[in-house]
Structures are given as structure tokens and as C-alpha cells.
Structure 1
Amino acid sequence: MLSAPVLAAAPAYLAAPAPSTPLGPFEDSAVSWASWVTLMSFVGLLALAVAVAAPARALDDRAARLVRGRLTWAAVVAGVLAFPAVLTDRARSGSGYDYSGAWHKLFDGSTAGLLAGFEAVLPLIAALILLPVVLRRGLASRLITSLRLTALLLGVVALAATRIPAKAPAPADRARTAFQTFMWMLHLVGGAVWVGGLIGLVVLAVRSALDSGFWSAAIRRFAAAAMGCVAAITLSGLFLYWSHVDGPTQLFTTMYGRVLGVKILLFGSLLVLGAVNQFWLHPRIDALRAAGDDRPLRTVLARRFPAVVGVEVALILALLFVAPFLHGSARNQAYQADVAEHTTNPKAKLPKLPQKEVSASTWIEGTAETAAVLVVTVAGYRFSGRLARRRADRAGQAGQAGQASLANQSAQGVQPGQPGAATT
């Protein structure tokens, strides 16, 4: 509740109805979802392409061309689709969609126009830069890497443009604004690499029949990137929670808090599913490979892990859909609802709380949280790697023992399936 001095200092706000905090039209959220999915998928697909390029080249030219072609084409499609998705998102208005107005605001000479232009146009330019990678087979590896990195940089800049302030902050707020923008970049880039990487693995798994050696290396590399993404999203999410929420009760008493609570539940479910992937799915795949299971990865996943893959894709898409519903701040919504209970002027503009002040305890708690997240992330990745190696070693030893048994039976003239033959 508000203290007596605060209420006494603001008598003009007194017995207005509680402020409305609607979620907004479903259509608007769907349009925002489309723009986020295309932008983030573009960045994540290119990041995965860079990460798995070496394992693909280590096999043969066919595998390298297949991986390069599929991931690059997927990134080109995402980059091209990002332009109409972002433009539609920018064209939203109360009476419909003003595409002409949105188009003329791109690069209109203002900082806001420059950022809007970067967000809409850079992914399209990056997609055009990638076309030689898929249209010409004779490109050198260095040139392909350069084109990918250039396109990836443009995609990251487009993502950054969504959160860079259009107005220069006051000198006293510059450090805070820079840090907050950095936190948003961790949040967005981490999510992009995670989302796009998963989509890229699905694209590669469909009717590709890639060698098991590629999948073992590719999955481990993506797992390392995903663990880093989890750390980045967790740390930035803790900062954003601190900035906009004044306590766990606001997760239930404000609209912002309830939406954020749904997002936290989805992210927590993804963490649980990620732990299942890291400590069960990936070690099982490595063990299957070590035991001589050379079936395509799609067959293994479709028969043994369909629920895990399907639920992970659904949760990530749901998380991206919920995010655009976050409007305002739980702190201000709770504060304004409390002020409205005591106001006498229903038309008065409700006040807002100032931003939280950073203290020494804030830095100490933030440093401790950062260290804890990093320790848990690194320890989890290293433990999952050891678990995978142990299972692979046991499966390999079992396979060698079975082959040795069959060889002995063959030397003794015993046919498999006859009395005395080994059974599995």
C-alpha cells in the first residue's frame, strides 16, 4: 500500500478507476510473433551453419554441400520473410495497417527511422549476400565463411535495432541505458541461437542421411551453444525481472506479472526438457552410434525421442508468442492501481514510479547470480559430456564383445540361431 506521505503529496490523483492493462489484440501479437520468429531464426540458422561447417567438411564434399545448402537456403527464406513481417509489424495502427506510412518512415532521417530501416532491410540484404553460397558450388571455404559472418553480423544488428533507444539518454542515465541494452542483446541473441539452431537441426535431419560422425559432432556443438544461450537468457532475464517486478506477489496481482509468469513457466519447462536432452537424449544417441547403429538421425529421433523433439519446438514457439504480450511494468501497474483507489479525479493522468536505483547490494547480488549461473552451466555441460562418453564406451565394448563372440562361433562352425549361438 502507498504510504501517507506519498498520498498526501499527490492529492490530485484521488478515486479514479484502476488502470486498464489489456493484453492487446490477438492479431497484433501474431504479427509481432512472425517478425520475431523470422529475425531470430535468421540469426540462429547462420550461427548453426558456422558451428557445424567443420564437422560437415570433415566427412566429404557431398555432406559439406548438403549442410551448407540446406542451412543457407533456410536462412535466405527467413531473411526474405523478415522484411514483410517487420514492415507489417511497423504498419500496425488503430484503424488497420498503414504500409505506405511505415515504408516512408524507414530511413527518414531520424534515429527512429534509421533503426526501423535496419530492422526491416538488413535481413533482406543479408539474404541476398548469401545467394552465391547456394547458387555457386565452386566458392572457396574462406569466401563462404566471410559471406556467412557478414550476413550474421547484419542479422545481429537488425536484432539490436529493436532495442536500441531512439532518443539519446540523459548523461546521468547513459551507463544504465547501455547496460540495459546489453542485457536485451544477451536475451535476444541467446534466444535466436537457440531457436534457429533447433530449426536448423530439424532441417538437416529431414531426408538427409548424413553420416553418424557428423551428427555426433553437430549435436555436441549445438549443445554447447544452447547451454551458453541458457546462461545468457537466464542472466538477462534476472536483470529484466529486477527492473520491472518488485516481488513475486506482482506475478499474480498485475497483468504484466501474470504474462511474465507464463513466460517463466514456459522457459522453465524448456530448461527441464533441455536437461532431458543433455543428460539422456544426447548420451543415448552417442551410445547408439558407438554400438553401430548407423540409421539416419531422423529415424532414431522419430522412433525413440519424438515427444522430446515435438514438445521442445512447441514450447519455443509458444514462448516467442507470449513475449509480445508483455507491456509496461508490473511495478507501475501495481503502483497505479494503488493510487487509483484513492484518487478523486478519474481523468487525471496516473503517475509512474522512477526506475530502480542501483546500489552496492545490487551489484553484489548480480555478481553472485552470474557466478552461480556460469558454474551450473559449465558443470552441467562437462558432466553430460562425461556421461555421453561413458555410455558410448560401454556400448562400444558391448558391440566389440558381440562381434568377437560371433567370430568365435564362426571359427567353431556354429551358425547364428543354432543351439550354442549367442543371443541378444
Structure 2
Amino acid sequence: MFQPNIRRMLAALLTAAATTVPAIAWAAPANDDIAQAIVIAAGGTAATVLMTGATQSATDPSCGTTPYQSVWYRYTSPVDQFIQARVSATTGSTPLRPRMAVWGGAPGALSAVQCHPDAHEVEFYATAGTAYYFEVYSPVANGETTLNLNVNPHAYVNPWSAVPPANDLFWFAEAIPGVPWSTNGDVGAAQGDSSYDPFTPCYTDNGVTFCYPYGDTLWYSFTATAQQDLDVLFTSAYVSPVVQVMTGTLDQPTLVANSFTPGKSKPGATRFSAQPGVTYLFEFASGGAENTADVYASLALRPSPPVTTGSVSAARTDKLYHRWVWVDPFYEKVTHVVVGVNLSCSTSIPSVGVSFTITQGAAQGSGSGTVPCAGGKGNGTIDAIVPNAFKPGTASVALNATDYDSNFNQTAAAAPVQLKLAAGP
């Protein structure tokens, strides 16, 4: 039998084992409150931000997203300059992405310098001698624990580089007042978006997917007032201009269309059906490396032109001719064929793209050109170089007529016909 004191010891041990172990209470970071904001050096910083234990202060200001956990930094600008700052998460999981806001004034009497509910990156002009407070916060409870903060004063990073435009960033997209809308300007100062850019433009060819890294980007927004088809156009000196249309926020975006949407796109352009009351975000981007040189571009948002309807046919032609071209050290024979084109259309179209293939036995050739269509009809001729094997006689021609701007390379009509080729001048 156990002695009374032994029984009491065992009971105490059992009671202690059954007691729940209290949760670890993490100490709040030193800069959990704005009054203890960490001072950023004049040249900026690239810092690791530890959010574990951070709290929400009753005095924390908000940009529309509740700051569940926040930490603070203070930067006093030594000169008038442009500043870029970015905060990013270590894992990038969508619901936990951190936010950033910039405030001026003094604790208890702050005024917004850059404030947006979705912002993970900010750009602003700083005034010499002015203190700015950077609020880094999580939009959800128990968000990311480790963040990366970069504050780059422009005068120290590269004082000779061009200052990016304000709408270089998703959350500061420039509003388009209405359609039709267009603008021209230099987009060379724009930069690639942060790692949070919502969609990498990709396309698939023969089962292989190709993606474009971002170069320069500009953002615009438009709230539709009516249901209509709209074209988004980006014309520039870029080798690979890309347009993307999306809705939602950066954390929960929905891709509506882009330059690779089948049947509704071409390089630097896309079409989508706008719905009333919906706000759309447009990204004009260069697919490839960032270009720091001057790059002039034309941007446009406009109602889609009417779809071409009607028929296309090939007219009989009697022009199959040869030219002799001097290619040192002798002349070479070059064979031409002229194909006449007749169009019918339901609406006037300044320039209809027409392409054709021509076959005669084993010999094949092709050509393309443009023909105007006004008053319901149009006609013209297309001169193309074909193999020298072509002779006077019967040949088969198949034409495709395309209103390039409105149909985005979709075939409007096609008509295989038989032509009697005759020797011509």
C-alpha cells in the first residue's frame, strides 16, 4: 500500500500532466508602435521584417484594409527626391500578402502620402527635411511572419534614370474617363511590375507553352457604363507589346483577355465584352527585358468596329508576267502573277486585308495586300511573285479577306476559285 505522502505526490504529478501547456507568447517587435519606428538611413534600406508578435494598435491608420499586424519605419529625406518602396512576402501565398502605406505628419496627426487598400509598392516625391512613416502590415490575422522591405531613394539609386510614371503600379492605375480614348507618350521610364504582377502573358503553340517576362508596364482602369465590345490597342517600338485585361484586386484577379486570347487578339491588342458597372484594369506591357531608352507608344481603348460580313471572290486575271532582275553577274527571271479581287461588305471598311494561295500542278505561290471596301463593294489587284514553274493556263486560287482591325485575323470569308492565267505585259 502507498503511504499518504506518496499518494499526494502522485496526485500532484497527474494533475500537472493534465494541465494544458500555455501557448508561447511572442514578444512584440521593437517597432510595433509608430512611436518606436525604426529609422531608415538616408541611402534607403533592404531589410528583413519580422512580423511575429506584431499587434494592431488602436491608433494605426487604415487605407481601407484592416491592419491586423503592423510595424513602422521612419525616413527623413535629405533632399527633394523620388522614392520607391516595396514590401514582399517570403512565400507569396495570396491571402497573406503584406501591405504598405506611407504617411506624413506626426503620430496622432498623420496624413496619407501613398495609401491604397491593395498596395504592396509605393512611389512618391519626398521633400527635403520631411519625415515619412512607412506602415508595413498584414491584411489578415496571423499573416506572413517574415517580409522583405526595400526603400530606394531615387537620388541615391540612380540620379540620372528617368522617374517612372505614377501608373507604373497596379494599384495606382490611371482612370480612363470614357471611350473612345487614346494617348501617346514615352513609356521608356516605366518599369516591370513587382513579383505580385497577377498574370504572366503566355501562349501555347503545338503543345509547348511560351511565356514573356515583364519589361515595362503601365496600368489604366475603366468602369463600363454599357454592354459593348471594346478593343484595347498598344502600338509601340517594342518587339513584343502585350495587352492584358482583368478585373478584381491584385490578390484576387480574374483575367478577362490578353494578346493571346484565341480569335480575339493580335500582337499588342485584344478584344473583350465589357459589362455595365464593372471596373476593368488594363496592363500595357513589353514582353521581354526592360527598356530604359525612350520608347514612344500609342495606347487606345475604343468600341470594336463592326464585324465584316459578306463575301469575297477572285476576279479573272490575264496578268502572268516575267521580269528579268540583274543579280550580279547575270539576270534572273522572276515570275509575277496579278490576282484581281472583288469584295462585298455590309459596312464601309477603309482597308481589308486579302491573302491568297495559288496552285498550278506542283507549283505553289502566295501573296497578300489590301483592298478598300466602300458602298457595299470593293475591288483591286494584288501582284505577287510566284515560282517560275507557273505557265499560262488554269490555276486554283483561294483567298481570305480579313478586316484586320475588327476581326483580329479571323477569316471573314474565303472563296476557292479557278483562274485562267494568261501571259500579260
> Normalised by the size of structure 2, how large is the TM-score?
0.22
Give the number of the structure whose alpha-carbon radius of gyration is greater.
2
> Normalised by the size of structure 1, how large is the TM-score?
0.22
Q: Which has the higher strand share?
A: 2
Q: Which has the higher contact order (CA 8 A, sep 6+)?
A: 1
